[in-house]
């Protein structure tokens, strides 16, 4: 299968997942009513369900998954480690910390955009710190350790905020948000994250040639003319922008950035430069289908998307780690 064919198949799979998410739910719709609702025609009820309720949620799931999948592929190529994802470098934890601060101090009551703005701002802060460290030509191991430290620090502050929550309602908001969900999302939420996703995607393009060269090792890549520092900067900043937008929209969704690249890597002959787009498409489809499954699951209360992703992703992570025997050698 060629690269174009692979991306075409994954894109069609994503579109099918989005269409299924629009049709299925507590009030099932026919294909005709769904398509009519998308163009603003058909029965009023179907149009309202499709455009105002389901479409923003389905797009939020797909775009969040795509952003996390692309981020995971970028970081795995940069660090040459199949277990890398945005959480490794602390970007997700810092974005979560920004949202926690907005909720804890009551900024979310002042503006609906306080949480996403703070999440993106703190993801940008993490990117600035990591970009500064990368510019000093730290080794991959040093960069990972710096990310682990940043993640631990942000996680500790988030836990402190929950421990000192001023009211039970604040604690409940913090817990619910940190569990991750795309329920009740609107086009306004997507519009706020869109510039960051677009900027991240554009910057990621400049990292792809360097990622291919890095498969030969840093010294060999540098001898071939690859700009290692620029590759690191572009990959880290792009990952931060993509992850910050994802966290701003959906909260903490784990393991998607690890699992999706692993699934499609054999299909691109393990080329990290060709892995980013298929990983984004695969992760978007996976998260859209996961959210659909949660909506249809016969539970008295809908499970959070982040919880479901962890339940499925954690065993997959262990399996990937067990098969990746070369890590740490």
Note the pLDDT of residue 5. Answer: 92
**Alpha-carbon gap, residue 3 to 22, rounded angstroms:** 29
User: CB atoms < 10 A from the CB of 224, how many?
Assistant: 10
| 279 belongs to a structural domain | yes
pLDDT means per 10 residues, the chain with 329 residues, are 90 96 90 88 84 94 96 88 80 89 86 82 85 74 83 92 87 82 90 92 93 83 84 88 90 89 90 93 95 89 86 81 60
288's torsion region: left (phi>0), alpha (psi -120 to 50) or beta?
Answer: alpha
| 246 belongs to a structural domain | yes
What totals of helices (H) and strands (E) does the chain contain, helices first? 15, 0
- Which helix (H) or strand (E) covers residue 83, if one does? none
Count of structural domains within the chain: 1
| 188 belongs to a structural domain | yes
| 329 belongs to a structural domain | no
| 328 belongs to a structural domain | no
Note the pLDDT of residue 324. Answer: 66
Tokens matching residue 174: 């913090």
Range of the domain at 247: 3-323
| 19 belongs to a structural domain | yes
Degrees to nearest 5, angle at CA 155 with 160 and 129: 120
| 200 belongs to a structural domain | yes
The CATH number of the domain where 81 resides is what? 1.10.3470.10
| Closest to 234 in 3D by CA, of 209, 258, 271, 269 | 209
| Per-residue burial over 22-53, b = 16 or more CB atoms within 10 Å of its CB, e = otherwise | bbbeeeebeeebbbbbbeeebeeebbebbbee
Sign of the C-alpha dihedral computed for residues 195, 184, 17 and 249 taken in this order:
positive
| 96 belongs to a structural domain | yes
Using the structure block, give the residue that is written with the tokens 């995971």. 72
Where helices occur in 215-255 by DSSP H, the ranges are: 218-223, 228-250
């Amino acid at each position: 299968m060629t690269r174009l064919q692979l991306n075409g198949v994954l894109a069609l799979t994503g579109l099918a997942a989005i269409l299924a998410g629009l049709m299925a739910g507590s009030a099932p719709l026919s294909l005709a009513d769904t398509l009519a609702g998308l163009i603003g025609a058909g029965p009023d009820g179907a149009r309202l369900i499709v455009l105002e309720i389901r479409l923003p949620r389905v797009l939020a799931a797909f775009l969040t998954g795509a952003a996390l999948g692309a981020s995971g592929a970028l970081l795995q190529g940069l660090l040459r480690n199949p277990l890398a994802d945005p959480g490794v470098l602390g970007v997700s934890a810092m974005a979560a910390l920004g949202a926690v601060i907005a909720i804890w101090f009551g900024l979310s009551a002042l503006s609906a955009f306080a949480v996403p703005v703070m999440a993106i701002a703190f993801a940008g802060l993490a990117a600035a710190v990591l970009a500064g460290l990368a510019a000093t030509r730290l080794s991959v191991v040093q960069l990972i350790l710096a990310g682990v430290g940043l993640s631990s620090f942000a996680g500790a502050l988030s836990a402190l905020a929950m421990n000192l929550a001023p009211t039970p309602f604040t604690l409940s908001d913090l817990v619910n948000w940190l569990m991750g969900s795309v329920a009740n999302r609107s086009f306004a939420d997507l519009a706020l994250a869109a510039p960051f996703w677009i900027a991240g995607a554009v910057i990621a393009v400049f990292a792809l040639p360097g990622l291919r060269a890095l498969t030969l090792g840093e010294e060999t890549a540098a001898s071939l003319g690859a700009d290692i520092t620029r590759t690191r900067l572009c990959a880290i900043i792009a990952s931060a922008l993509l992850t910050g937008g994802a966290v701003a929209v959906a909260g903490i969704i784990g393991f998607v950035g690890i699992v999706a690249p692993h699934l499609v890597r054999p299909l691109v002959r393990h080329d990290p430069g060709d892995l980013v787009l298929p990983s984004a498409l695969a992760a978007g489809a996976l998260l859209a289908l996961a959210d659909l499954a949660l909506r249809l699951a016969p539970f008295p209360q809908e499970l959070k998307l982040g919880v479901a992703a962890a339940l499925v992703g954690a065993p997959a992570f262990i399996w990937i780690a067990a098969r990746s025997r070369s890590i740490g050698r």
